[in-house]
Copies of this chain bind each other. A is one copy, B any other.
Amino acid sequence: MKPRRVLTFAKLIIVGFTLPVLAADPLPSWNDTTPKKAIIAFVERVTKEGSPDFVPVPERIATFDNDGTLWAEQPMYFQLLFALDRVKALAPQHPEWKTREPFASLLKGDVKGALAGGEKAMLEIVMVTHAGMTTAEFEQVVKDWLATAKHPKFIRSYTECVYQPMLELLAYLRANGFKTFIVSGGGIEFMRPWTERVYGIPPEQVVGSSIKTKFEMRAGKPVLVRQAEIDFIDDKTGKPVGINSHIGRRPIAAFGNSDGDREMLEWTQAGDGARLLMLVHHDDAEREFAYDRKSHIGQLDKAWDEAVAKGWTVVSMKDDWKRVFAFER
């Protein structure tokens, strides 16, 4: 560097160090309503040194549900749509499926009929589409599907169907020293192949449901083979269990959208100190979907009552979000 340049560079650094930064709005897709104010007030309280609510950086843990909180979950959980596509792709190798439920109905396009078999049918679909392969093979199948599959309403890839305000919230929390985790009922290995790219959340910060894996040597190489056996369901009372198992520390902020997130918010609230508890309410049929107390997917009923009783923040997608998706005009 030449002396003159060095001086200019030094000035730049000094300005950067000594002038308060006039930061741009960190949450531009949020309207200036209660939720945005609650988020900013909370972050300022816990990050201000000397404040009674100050939280040291290692304890700034924030957990996010995924389906319906970070990305959409209608008309069906995306992982279920993935499983249905896989059944179709695998059908030629399974001629017996033509006459065996739940596959027979599925292959005729009758999803409702297939799911009439309840949890047993659902589990059978999951097992034939998610098990019997190595973890590396499954990761590739997920990536390949995401590269081509489109959401039926938005005609966009599923990883584009993520909520822009929540992406901003994740980035804002991380810029303030938070470690952001996903705590989802969805499959942990279904999420990990893309959460880092889409949310900036690395695989080790993803908590989810899982099936068992088994270590095997194949041609002298170790592999993990996905077994047709449930290991853990990370939903409802399972969420605090999953948080304890994977994080080992109580979050100070938790974000969800349905009754499946209720215990996560209760667990988060039960610690000492400032807390931020938030539920996304899907009330925007035009830009996204409108559903709550009576929905089969993402039901928001008991958690809503509890939010009102306990002072959790309920976010109206319609009123509190300027924009839902990045792809909107």
Which residues in A have some Cβ–Cβ distance to B below 8 Å? 1, 6-7, 9-11, 13-14, 18, 58, 61, 135, 179, 188-189, 192, 196, 202-206, 210, 213-215, 221-222, 224, 231, 237-238, 240-241, 244-249, 263, 266-267, 270
Q: How many of these chains are in the complex?
A: 2
A274 to B27, CA, bound (A): 41
B196 touches A58 (CB 8 A): yes
A240 to B217, CA, bound (A): 12
Which of chain B's residues have a CB closer than 8 A to the CB of A192? 248
Nearest CB to that of A196 among chain B residues? Answer: B58
A58 to B18, CA, bound (A): 31
> Which among B1, B13, B204 is the interface contact of A246 at CB below 8 angstroms?
B204
Which of chain B's residues have a CB closer than 8 A to the CB of A244? 135, 213, 224
B18 touches A14 (CB 8 A): no
B1 touches A10 (CB 8 A): no
Task: Show 19 A/B contacts (Cβ-Cβ < 8 Å), sorted by A.
Answer: A1-B14, A1-B18, A10-B10, A10-B13, A188-B248, A202-B249, A203-B247, A204-B204, A204-B205, A204-B246, A210-B245, A213-B241, A213-B244, A213-B245, A214-B237, A215-B267, A221-B270, A222-B263, A222-B267
Which of chain B's residues have a CB closer than 8 A to the CB of A246? 204, 246
| A229 nearest CB across to chain B (Å) | 13
A245 touches B188 (CB 8 A): yes
B222 touches A240 (CB 8 A): yes
Which of chain B's residues have a CB closer than 8 A to the CB of A213? 241, 244-245
A270 touches B222 (CB 8 A): yes
